[in-house]
Structure 1
Amino acid sequence: MLNHKALSAVITLMECESFQEAATILKMSPAAFSRHIKAAEDYAGFRLFMRGRTAVRPTGPGEVFIRHAQNLHRAIARFDQATHQIQQGAQGGLLRVACGPLTTLTLIAPALREASRRFPSLRFRVHVRATFEPMLALKRGEIDLFVGDLTHTPLIDGIEVRVVEKRSVIFVAAPGHPLLRGGPYGLPEILRFPLLSPFLHRHWRNTVTKALGDDETAKRLVERIPAVECDDYALLLDLIDDSTYVCGGMRENFAEGLASGKLHEINVAGQIPWNISVVRQNQEVSDALEAVWASLVGRHDQ
């Protein structure tokens, strides 16, 4: 049977359609990742992927093979999760949460405080980074819950997704920036200046590329952004004092700077939507996970 790394490699490659992106997600070197794909193809006895000019996609037999691999991967994850719950107890143990950098204060902290009051022995492991691939992590059983940006909300067997907020990105700059004179400005005008931003994953890049015209010029422009990529908004806000930068995010990220006059909002034409979603596996949910989920969804329903 395929080992765990080869199994993860073929599943991740089908999701990402890119050797480099899949290897990065799995924290493998390109050479090691390619060896695992070759091992899977040797095991299958046929070619699993076609290497195209712009993307890697499964062959017909490869897609069937990988669907079965996904089922096996989910079964292993459920087994591991059930074993963990038996060891720790459904009302104690460890709750693993992944989230983007924009949700920690407004959503994550209140939900965890409420859960810790109900389950005093519960421990939390919170991963705050925009580079997280939530669907893959959930399917692999690496996390129990994701809260953050999903530019699209796909329907996947065994995965439950709730959009709890729909927001729009704003752009800000320091006083004296040329974009603070007049407007409204479109994305091509804004992105002439160096952008500060958290990690821009594939779906965000596709969204921006389409907004810029979806041509070769747009693709080249998107390849060059951001000038500084960091999931720590404290660092981005320090850097924004340089009047050449613009920064994108949620209004609350810039609330203090906007109130003090250190930052000003750029007059933007149109909107870039941002979906704040909560995502979990909907099988064998613990009482603690159910409590955190209800808290997050309940805030939206109120």
Structure 2
Amino acid sequence: MPKRDYYEVLGVPRGAGEEEIKKAFRRLAMKFHPDRCPDDPAAQDKFKEAKEAYEVLCDGARRTLYDRHGHAAFASGGARGGAGFADAGDMFGDIFADIFGGSGRPRRGSDLRYLLDLDLEEAVFGCDKTIEVPGIVACDGCKGSGSADGRSKTCPTCRGQGRVRMQNGIFSVQQACPQCRGSGRVVETPCAQCHGEGHVERTRRLEVRIPAGVDSGDRIRLSGQGEAGPAGLPAGDLYVEVRVREHAIFQRDGDDLHCEVPVRIAQAALGAE
């Protein structure tokens, strides 16, 4: 059976950039990876086909050869330079981190969402609101480090790299070290308040300035007010989503307000207050 065109396999145009190709492969890998479809030979064949296409199209030299000569460029098994299969772990590490739930890099804290109900007057003219947000915050006792005395040592699991390599079938995938959570350091004396976690659960009171003219669905971003990051990493953001209550008299249409007022014929003809 003849091989399909690599661009057709990934569903991208011939002029697609590297990011577009990577996104297309990620989508197919998430769908057809053998670990997700262990009993589906057809899915495994599609995954192998997509992987082969990705290896060629994301390598500049091999892509040039393919564009000039098609599959014939690799028919003899030669001209395979570039990344090659030996480096497949590094090539696919970031992509398969999404599939296996790992991550090659430590990340900041999670973003939070808060739904805020406003009266029409508050939305139109703006206001200040106090909200209470439950979540995970940095420990005051250790300032988020998790250490009682501020001392730490090199993580013995990853040897300070912050990442470990995990084997998933034929792929070697890098992900954040489970012991140090990607920081490369571990505490010697855990903080008594947070038990070495560096964060605690707490409900915070925050002041939010609501600008005039907001409408339902608008979001206000409070930078750094999300959940605390692991091992002292930066906190995520808080997104306050606005929901405007219906008014008893006025209906809103964008920046306009409408209301229906019943009048008699004489009032409509002659005017009235």
Larger Rg: 2
- The TM-score normalised by the length of structure 1 is 0.23
Which structure: greater strand fraction? 2
Using structure 2 for the length normalisation, give the TM-score: 0.25
Which structure dedicates a bigger proportion of its chain to helix?
A: 1
The higher-RCO structure (CA 8 Å, 6+ apart) is 1
